[in-house]
Amino acid sequence: MSILILGGTGEAMALARALAPDSRFAPLLSLAGRTKNPAPPPIPWRCGGFGGAAGLAAFLATHQFAAMIDATHPFALQISANARKAAAIAGVPLLTLTRPPWIAKPGERWTIVRDLAAAAQALGPKRRRVFLTIGRQDLLPFRAAPWHHYLIRSVDPPDPAFLPPDCDIISARGPFSEDDERALLASRAIEILVSKNSGGAMRAKLDAAQALAIPVVMIARPPPPASGPVVTDRDGALAWLGRLHDAKRGV
């Protein structure tokens, strides 16, 4: 069975690793091409957009995919909307694989906001030392609060046109340990952390912030897909694929 996996996340990579040795499936991982040197996937992969929902539907039909898994980041709304439309046009079953959101633990000091602009506003009128962990594509709204000092972490260097005036850049690829996060927050004298509610098992930066009593501005998740099956981990996706495979063979 040919499977198209829309990736760009750790979950997509974990699924790719699990499918690599499974002879029932011929998976293809699709990446947007945002990261210059992505970690090489263990299965065949491609890079770059499809040209909207119609382009993705044509790609599904041309390569005769039997199923598609949308394992993109929960904040990547456009590609997920395209995937739903394309699956409907091409008549291909679609599964959404999305990690569960983080939930504040007792004692954690979160201000939950609805978007990036609200996050910039929530930093307040007084100058603070801010750790921005939102990736390099979404920095522009923080130029509206130029009086803060920003520590920005991203895999590739951000476009200088998007940067707030007072900032330091760290280029690093996760996962990060809680000890490392704690050391970074302390050495940079960080007073507040900004994060998207990406969710999942890795919450080292949040645990480190809690340990140092550093407040967090948490950007809430956009609404989940309107319809269709959703799983929250690799094993759920493997079970869905197994059922689909058996159904196609009439088992």
Structural contact between residues 223 and 81, judged by C-beta atoms closer than 8 angstroms: no
Nearer CB in complex with ligand NAP: 7/41? 7
Strand (E) or helix (H) holding 121:
helix 116-122
In the complex, the smallest distance separating the C-beta of residue 214 from ligand NAP, rounded to whole angstroms, is 22
Closest to 98 (Cα-Cα) out of 240, 236, 241, 231: 231
Residue number of the CB closest to ligand NAP reads: 49
Nearer CB in complex with ligand NAP: 130/139? 139
Burial pattern 27-57, b for ≥16 Cβ within 10 A else e, equals bbbbbbeeeeebeebebebeeeebeebeebb
Nearer CB in complex with ligand NAP: 7/158? 7
In the complex, the smallest distance separating the C-beta of residue 142 from ligand NAP, rounded to whole angstroms, is 15
Q: Which residues bind ligand NAP (CB under 6 A)?
A: 6-9, 30-32, 34, 49-52, 55-56, 72-73, 75-79, 82, 135, 137, 196
Nearer CB in complex with ligand NAP: 82/210? 82
Nearer CB in complex with ligand NAP: 6/15? 6
In the complex, the smallest distance separating the C-beta of residue 5 from ligand NAP, rounded to whole angstroms, is 8
- Give me 102's structure tokens: 């983080």
Sign of CA dihedral 85, 88, 89, 91: positive
Beta strands in 89-166, from DSSP E residues, in sequence order: 94-97, 110-113, 129-133, 149-154
Looking at the DSSP bridge assignments, the partners of residue 111 are 217
In the complex, the smallest distance separating the C-beta of residue 127 from ligand NAP, rounded to whole angstroms, is 27
